């Protein structure tokens, strides 16, 4: 074994990324998968790309796991939000209250279930929180793209009036970002329930 080989064995990828990976994976997989990534990082990526780009590679791989844990919930939330937006713009009601109640409870449900499912699987409350953040982030991007697509499809005077009186395009683009904080809290609560129920089931 060369000196380079010996020194590489002490190089670590970003610890926060390793910790994030362990949070989102089930306990049985956390060690083996993190070991696989570490092995690839040290054996190939570090040597070929250098430290900084190897760290970027590692973080990208971890984000892939986070994405796979939460993308479905992000899509569901985005569909819910865009569906409500399309109704408000194309079929504006006299009173938004009923729609607001329905979509608010539905959104709460999405985050709670996302957190519950993640924590049930990984047995970690942290996984619930991560699911909440990832769901909100994925949904925010999808909603922005979807909202612009809706306007591109239909932007007559009546629709523009409805957009303005339902909160405006700004609200549609910014609200998903603001939802991240309460959404993460809700997902964390869901995660707490998921972990507790999983633990009770195991006993």
Q: How far is the CB of 134 from other proteins (least distance, A)?
A: 13
- Asked if residues 92 and 166 have their Cβ atoms less than 8 Å apart, the reply is yes
Report in angstroms how near the CB of residue 116 gets to other proteins at its nearest. Answer: 19
Q: Which of 32, 48, 104, 158 binds other proteins (CB under 8 A)?
A: 32
Which pair of tokens denotes residue 18? 């390793």
Q: Is 29 in the site for other proteins (CB under 8 A)?
A: yes
Stretch that binds other proteins, among 64-72, 101-109, 155-163, 194-202 (CB under 8 A): 64-72
Does 177 bind other proteins (CB under 8 A)? Our answer is: no
For position 14 contacting other proteins by CB under 8 A, the verdict is: no
Contact window for other proteins (CB under 8 A) among 25-33, 80-88, 106-114, 182-190: 25-33
Quote the least distance from Cβ 68 to other proteins, whole Å. 5
Question: For residues 26 and 39, what is the distance between their CA atoms, to the nearest angstrom?
Answer: 20
Applying CB under 8 A, which part among 38-46, 83-91, 101-109, 194-202 lies near other proteins?
Answer: 38-46
Residue 8 C-beta: closest distance to other proteins, Å: 8
Give the nearest distance from C-beta 175 to other proteins in angstroms: 29
Q: Residues 4, 16, 27, 31: which binds other proteins (CB under 8 A)?
A: 31
Angle at the Cα of 194 (from 78 to 33), degrees rounded to 5?
Answer: 80
Q: Which residues are at the interface with other proteins (CB under 8 A)?
A: 8-9, 29, 31-40, 42-43, 61, 64-65, 67-68
């Amino acid at each position: 074994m060369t000196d380079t080989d010996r020194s590489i064995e002490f190089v670590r990828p970003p610890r926060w990324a390793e910790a994030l990976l362990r949070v989102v994976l089930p306990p049985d997989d956390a060690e083996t998968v993190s070991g696989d990534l570490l092995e690839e990082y040290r054996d190939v990526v570090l040597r070929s790309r250098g430290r900084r780009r190897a760290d970027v590679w590692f973080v990208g791989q971890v984000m892939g796991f986070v994405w796979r844990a939460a993308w479905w919930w992000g899509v569901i939330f985005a569909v819910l939000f865009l569906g409500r937006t399309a109704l408000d713009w194309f079929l504006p009601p006299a009173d938004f209250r009923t729609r607001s109640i329905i979509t608010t409870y539905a959104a709460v449900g999405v985050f709670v279930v996302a957190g519950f499912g993640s924590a049930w699987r990984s047995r970690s409350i942290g996984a619930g929180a991560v699911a909440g953040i990832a769901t909100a982030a994925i949904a925010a991007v999808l909603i922005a793209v979807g909202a612009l697509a809706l306007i591109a499809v239909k932007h007559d005077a009546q629709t523009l009036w409805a957009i303005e009186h339902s909160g405006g395009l700004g609200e549609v683009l910014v609200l998903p970002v603001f939802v991240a904080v309460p959404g993460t809290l809700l997902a964390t609560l869901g995660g707490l329930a998921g972990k507790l129920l999983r633990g009770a089931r195991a006993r």
